Structure 1
Amino acid sequence: MNRKIILTCALTGAGDTTAKSEFVPVTPEEIAKDAIAAARAGASVVHIHVRDLQTKLSSRKVEYYREVVERVRASEVDPVINLTAGMGGDLVLDPQNPTAQLPGTDLVSGLERLPHVEQLLPEICTLDCGSLNFGDGSNLYVSTPDMLREGAARIQQLGVRPELEIFDTGNLWFANVMVQEGLIYPPPLYQLCMGVPYGAPVDPGLLHAMVNLLPKGAEFTSFAIGANQLPWVAQSVLAGGHARVGLEDNLYLSKGVKATNAQLTDRAVGIIESLGAEVATPDEAREILDLKVQIPAGA
């Protein structure tokens, strides 16, 4: 296998994981340091969420994103920056009165999920391509076709590459519709997310079925959560795709051994190289994905 693999490190995510590992970064400075360390370890792309400094839960504050991005851009490394645009889709319902929203709800329009993307112009931002029962209980992730079309059109106007987050086959179906409608410039970039309750289960057969549904010329990455993360690097590469690791999806390097983002990245580099492939440099990733670097005026 002689090809370049784009390796993404997803640094912190939105999950309530900070009490489970001291290595999960919280502050903008910590997230930026992890991004730089992951890039030094070989990550082509760094995927960035930010967290509230008091609660340590997910945040949509533009100033936090700005600090992370500016710190990474000012460093000696130059990874592709991928900002989440998925925050603002959480709806927690009272099961006895489903017209009532419970604490934890953070539901805004598709455009209201994009101000940090509009101001910072990352090379990539995510676009979650459907709604989902998000785990047990009454937590829904909401991303309707109308929201998605509106968001995709705005992202296209900005010249940012959307990473189409696919949590189940219906998400993939609608993402393909947006590609057909011209809302996604080629080459479309898909992220096939496996094992997130209750989306697509971790199953190599299902991965290959989803890959077979991708449009011609598409690029894809796939990841699996928890203990499946590192083995899934090989699964994704062998299926013809790229790879993702990081503390957003998995906290351990091996059983009982907590990981850092740099360690997970380094381990993934080894897996990719053991398959006879090479990890793409950030500039090679930019070429593969036809990214257009845009830096806001005054940045």
Structure 2
Amino acid sequence: MNPNVIMTCAITGAGDTADKNPNVPVTPKQIAADCIAAAKAGASVAHIHVRDPETGGISHSTEHFREVMERVREADTDIVMNITAGGGGDWIPDAVDPTRGGPGTDMQTPAERHAPVGELLPELCTLDCGSLNFGDMVYINTADWLREHARLVQAAGVKPELECFDLGHVWFARQLQKEGLLDGDPLFQLCLGIPWGAEADTETMLAMRNKLPENANWAAFGIGRHQMPMVAQAMLLGGHVRVGLEDNLYLSKGVPATNAGLVEKACGIIDNLGGRVMTPAETRAHLKLRDPKTGQTVTGGEA
């Protein structure tokens, strides 16, 4: 069991969820406010996407990310910031000509995906470690794209969170490490329950955990009703956890959640299992992240 747990709150994704729960933040101001609320509720890390403030849909705007980052950094509540760099990989076959991308297709090059990270230099950013049948669409991230993206993240001095949606993604992340494209102890996020990737159950989490490098830090999450069971399971298997409205819209059946409410519920699970949630400062030291105030890597003082 892991008694000292890093808790990530995934504030808002890119999915069509804003109409399903009025608490899903859309504007940069709302997203930043939820980062701060999650921190006050006990979260160690805020993982952020940004949305088009007018439509609530996907946005890759560096300026939207900048506004979120600045609002959070100016607050008196500390939290580690983790920017998504996995957008711009959605391919949906056209209904008339399935050899072409249809409405909803959203593709970016590795350099375009990396642009907000390279300019804003958060402590963490995601690196999605492969392609996937993601529901009815295909998320595209080829091996050479990943290598290029990993080099960009490495050159920026930002620590990548290696998002793995299936067992083969763990395999490729180990290959990135073998090729020298990952610095220090790698950080993995095991993403469970998304059709048609890794299932959200104990056997799958354990299989993926057992394939991680010996020096890896890791976390896991489940989507929807699997969110809280996977909090307990990840902690019991020695990992860290993630909750938030990106992955789950409900606090209980039929009850719309807030990000702070999900963090509080997960904190209760961790506390009842005999653990504690690490502070943002402890998280930076444990993962050897760059301090946003000094720009220096934080070492020592681990929980």
Common topology (TM > 0.5):
yes
Distance 1:2 1:276 in 2: 9
Please give the per-residue CA displacement for 1:113-148, whole angstroms capped at 9, x wherever unaligned: 011101110000000100011102xx2111011110
- Give deviations 1:151-184, integer Å, cap 9, x for gaps: 0011011110000010001111101100111111
Q: 1:279 aligns with which of 254, 277, 285?
A: 277
Structure 2 equivalent of residue 98 of structure 1: 98
Question: Corresponding residue for 1:225?
Answer: 223
TM-aligned CA deviation for residue 273 of structure 1: 1.0
User: Quick check: 75-84 or 102-111, which moved more?
Assistant: 102-111
Q: Is the 8 A contact 1:120 1:296 kept in 2?
A: no
1:256: how far off? 1.1
Residue-by-residue CA offset, 1:77-109 (whole Å, 9 max, x unaligned) = 110000000111111112653322111111111
Give the root-mean-square deviation of aligned CA atoms: 1.4
Q: Which runs of 5+ in 1 are unaligned?
A: none
SS at match of 1:99: coil
Alpha-carbon deviation of 1:112? 1.1
Secondary structure class of the residue paired with 1:93 = coil
Q: Distance between the aligned counterparts of 1:81 and 1:44, measured in 2?
A: 9
| TM-score, structure 2 as length reference | 0.95
2:2/2:240 contact within 8 Å kept:
no
Q: Is the 8 A contact 1:131 1:143 kept in 2?
A: yes
Residue 100 of structure 2: SS of its match in structure 1? Answer: strand
Q: State the distance in 1 between where 2:35 and 2:223 align.
A: 19
Write the distance in 2 (CA, Å) between the matches of 1:94 and 1:169.
29
* Distance (Å, rounded) in 2 between the aligned partners of 1:296 and 1:141: 36
2:145 is aligned, of 144, 147, 150, to 147
Q: Structure 2: where are the runs of 5+ without partners?
A: 296-303
Q: Which amino acid aligns with 2:92?
A: V
Contact 1:193 1:222 in 2 (8 A): yes
1:162-173 → structure 2 map (5 Å cutoff): 162-173=160-171
State yes or no: 1:116 paired with 2:116.
Answer: yes
- Runs of 4+ aligned structure 1 residues displaced above 2 Å come to 94-99, 293-297
What is the SS of the residue equivalent to 1:77?
coil
Q: CA deviation at 1:64?
A: 0.5
* Map of 2:16 onto structure 1: 16
Q: Which residue of 2 aligns with 1:43?
A: 43
CA distance in 2, matches of 1:155, 1:165: 14
Query: Aligned partners of 1:280, 1:172: CA distance in 2, in Å?
Result: 25
Contact 2:87/2:113 (8 A) holds in 1: yes
Q: Which residue among 246, 250, 269 is the counterpart of 2:248?
A: 250
Determine if contact 1:253/1:264 at 8 Å carries over to the other structure.
Answer: yes
Match of 1:215 in 2: 213
Partners of 1:119 and 1:296 within 8 A in 2:
no
**Secondary structure of the corresponding residue to residue 55 of structure 2:** coil
CA distance in 1, matches of 2:17, 2:102: 21
Identity of aligned residues (%): 56
Inter-partner Cα distance in structure 2 for 1:108 and 1:81: 22
Looking at structure 1, the residues matched to 11 and 262 of structure 2 have their Cα atoms a distance apart, in angstroms, of 10
